[in-house]
Amino acid sequence: MNPETERTQPAGMIFDLKRFAVHDGGGLRSTLFLKGCPLRCPWCQNPEGLEKEPLLWYDPSQCMRCAACVSVCPQNALSMTPANGNSPERIHMVPSACSLCGKCEEACPAAAIEVRGRRIGVQEAVSMLLRDRIFFRDSGGVTLSGGEVLLQWEFAAAVLAGCKAQGADTAIETSLMGPPRAVEELMKVTDHFLIDIKIFDPEKHRQIIGTDNRRILANYEMLLHGNADVLVRTPLIPGYTADDENIRSIARYIVSQDPDARYELLNYNPLCRSKYEALERPYPVDEIRPLSAEEMEHFYEILREEHVPHIIT
Ligand code: SF4
Ligand code: SF4
């Protein structure tokens, strides 16, 4: 890419790159995570991706309790808190005081503290995503996830166009909460859309997630009218999404829209709990446990009753 083109292309804010991913589309994939999300799902698996801006990230399991970070911080944003009950000694962060200067990250001998989130150009993103392309073979490729990809759709579209130009298969994981223009543009460069429909009732969607789902459903229908390859997914969260009426309604709706619908139910994954600890944020669904095999089977039976043509397990 010539320097002039690079200058005029949008930059993006990212927070992670997952290499050799196996759940973000077909085959082995490289997945780039974009920052910022308009939704607030209480069970969010990537809380570090919610805000658009970078944030300070601390991993207590890596920390050696040397306090090097505390001593270099020019803003006094860090302190060492003593062990308390079951909680071991750890670094306490005051995000409002932090200027994101990165000095703590440089000083840390254990890579336990870092500024997570950085702005990158399109060409750098394409290079990161294609570094492992030798392993993609026929079915793998690159995926953009988040956060919500549609919030940075111009950057995303340029990155995926760059990957496609080099022959890579492209996918997006999205809630579809974004402007129709974003969906329209991304359809031109995206081979597969992995979309979430979490709650069918618009009012319940608004109460739990913070906004109703009309835009999401309209964007889904736009994808279908454009003959996009779409996989619909619902995370099964007891007390929020995992109830018969919700799953039946989503199944009935997608079958009415797409006679060839593909639908995947995702069991609740509690592994993200440690991320909330790292951010010193309360984990809103702390009491919830994954569904048993019998409970999953119960929901699959609903999909069969509603004649979902392709149930992805
Ligand atoms: S990024 Fe800078 S201001 Fe923020 S905690 Fe680290 S050293 Fe302090
Ligand atoms: S510098 Fe790193 S290892 Fe040392 S206390 Fe801070 S976060 Fe922990």
Residue nearest to atom 1 of ligand 2 (CA): 108
Query: Ligand 2 centroid vs 98 CA: distance in angstroms?
Result: 16
CATH fold group of domain 3-52+120-312:
TIM Barrel (3.20.20)
| CB neighbour list of residue 95: distance below 8 Å, 6 or more residues apart | 55, 56, 77
Is the pLDDT at 32 greater than 80? The verdict is yes
Q: Which amino acid is at 207?
A: Q
What number of other Cβ atoms are within 10 A of residue 137's Cβ? 10
Q: What percent of the chain lies above the pLDDT cut of 90?
A: 80
How many residues appear in the chain?
313
Instruction: Please give the model's pTM, rounded to 2 decimal places.
Output: 0.91
Is the pLDDT at 1 greater than 70? The verdict is no
Strand partners for 29: 21, 141
Mean per-residue pLDDT, 240-268: 97
Is the pLDDT at 44 greater than 70? The verdict is yes
CATH numeric code, 55-116? 3.30.70.20
Report the candidate in 261, 265, 196 with the shortest Cα–Cα distance to residue 229.
261
Whole-angstrom distance between the N-terminal and C-terminal Cα of the chain?
Answer: 41
Please tell me the predicted confidence (pLDDT) of residue 189: 98
pLDDT tens for 126-183 read 999 999 888 887 778 999 999 999 999 999 999 999 999 999 999 999 999 999 999 9
What's the CA gap between 158 and 152, in Å, rounded?
10
The pair of three-digit structure tokens given for residue 203, joined into one six-digit string: 């009012």
What's the CA gap between 254 and 224, in Å, rounded?
10
The full set of domain ranges for the chain reads 3-52+120-312, 55-116
Residue nearest to atom 4 of ligand 1 (CA): 98
* From 101-110, 207-216, 272-281, the region with the lowest mean pLDDT: 272-281
Is 74 in contact with 103 (CB distance < 8 Å)? yes
Mean per-residue pLDDT, 77-94: 88
Contact residues of ligand 2, CB 6 A cut-off: 63-69, 91, 107-110, 112-113
pLDDT category at 3 given cuts 50, 70, 90 is: low
pLDDT tens for 222-233 read 999 999 999 999
| Cis peptide bond upstream of 226, omega within 30 | no
Please tell me the predicted confidence (pLDDT) of residue 23: 77
DSSP string, the chain: --HHHHHHSPPEEEEEEEEEESSSSSSSEEEEEE---S---TT-S-GGGSSSS-EEEE-TTT-----HHHHH-TT--EEEEPPBTTBPPEEEE-TTT-----HHHHH-TTS-EEEE-EEE-HHHHHHHHHTTGGGTTTT-EEEEEES-GGGGHHHHHHHHHHHHHTT--EEEEE---S-HHHHHHHHTT-SEEEEE---SSHHHHHHHHSS-SHHHHHHHHHHHHTT--EEEEEEE-TTTT-SHHHHHHHHHHHHHH-TT-EEEEEE--GGGHHHHHHHT---TTTT--PPPHHHHHHHHHHHHHTT-SEEE-
What's the CA gap between 34 and 149, in Å, rounded?
6
Please tell me the predicted confidence (pLDDT) of residue 6: 57
Please tell me the predicted confidence (pLDDT) of residue 56: 94
Average pLDDT, the chain: 93
Residue nearest to atom 2 of ligand 2 (CA): 108
Q: Which of 91, 92, 100, 114 to mutate to test the pocket of ligand 1 (most atoms within 8 A of CB)?
A: 100
Please tell me the predicted confidence (pLDDT) of residue 72: 98
Strands 141-146 and 170-174: parallel
pLDDT category at 96 given cuts 50, 70, 90 is: very high
pLDDT category at 82 given cuts 50, 70, 90 is: confident
122 lines ligand 1 (CB under 6 A): no
